[in-house]
Amino acid sequence: MPVHLAVFGGTFDPPHNGHLALCLYAREILEIDKLFISVSNNPFKHKRGAADEHRKRMAECLASEINLTGACSQVSGWELKQQPSYTVDLLKYVQQLYPHDRVTLLVGEDSFKEFHSWKDYEKLFSLCDIVVFRRASTEASDPPSDSLLQKGSIRVIDFAYEVSSTEIRELAAAGQSISRLVPPSVSRYIIEHALYR
């Protein structure tokens, strides 16, 4: 029986409470049955603070936090083996794994700003629906252009959660607490492995 599968990709360097809130909110508002969390090497982000294995383990911590409220998420490191990693290839891979499922791609506003630069971005419309989480507090944010809306299914949802992985890495490097910004299991992992120091 087909289910609704959402794909949420990122570098997760580290995963934070914004990621957690987005996933939980998306699961409820979009009626998601399964959440596929993909850890990537974003070609637009050349500098990473933690090694691939650490980022994947932290994403697994994120998935565990989500699953505390109902098991639905899983983590994939498939993109980490691709050089480089592209969303269109990830979605083709997901389609091979789950050929009968309805697929929705979850995208943060910052990532969506680069959408026209993504490899074969127009092919995404035949592979999935797209939901963009826009920062409601950002007045300068523009909705997707009419040309994009005509090509495929893009839904925009206002979602305000002002926290960034860059800020967290800087705080951790300075020896300051990040416990209010990341899930407890991610905080423990960062401390245990002395990441970003």
Q: Report pLDDT digits (tens) over 74-103.
A: 999 999 999 888 999 999 999 999 999 999
Confidence (pLDDT) at 46: 61
**By mean pLDDT, which of 10-14, 21-25, 42-46, 186-190 is the weakest?**
42-46
Confidence (pLDDT) at 193: 97
Instruction: Using alpha carbons, select from 7, 37, 30, 2 the residue that is nearest to residue 186.
Output: 37
Contact between 185 and 61 under an 8 Å Cβ cutoff? The reply is yes
Confidence (pLDDT) at 44: 64
Whether residue 136 has pLDDT greater than 70: no
- Count CB neighbours of 20 within 10 A: 19
C-alpha torsion sign, points 70, 61, 44, 97: negative
Domains, in order of start, for the chain:
4-192 (3.40.50.620)
Distances (CA, A) of 164 to 23, 60, 170: 15, 19, 10
Whether residue 58 has pLDDT greater than 60: yes
Q: Is the pTM of this model over 0.85?
A: yes
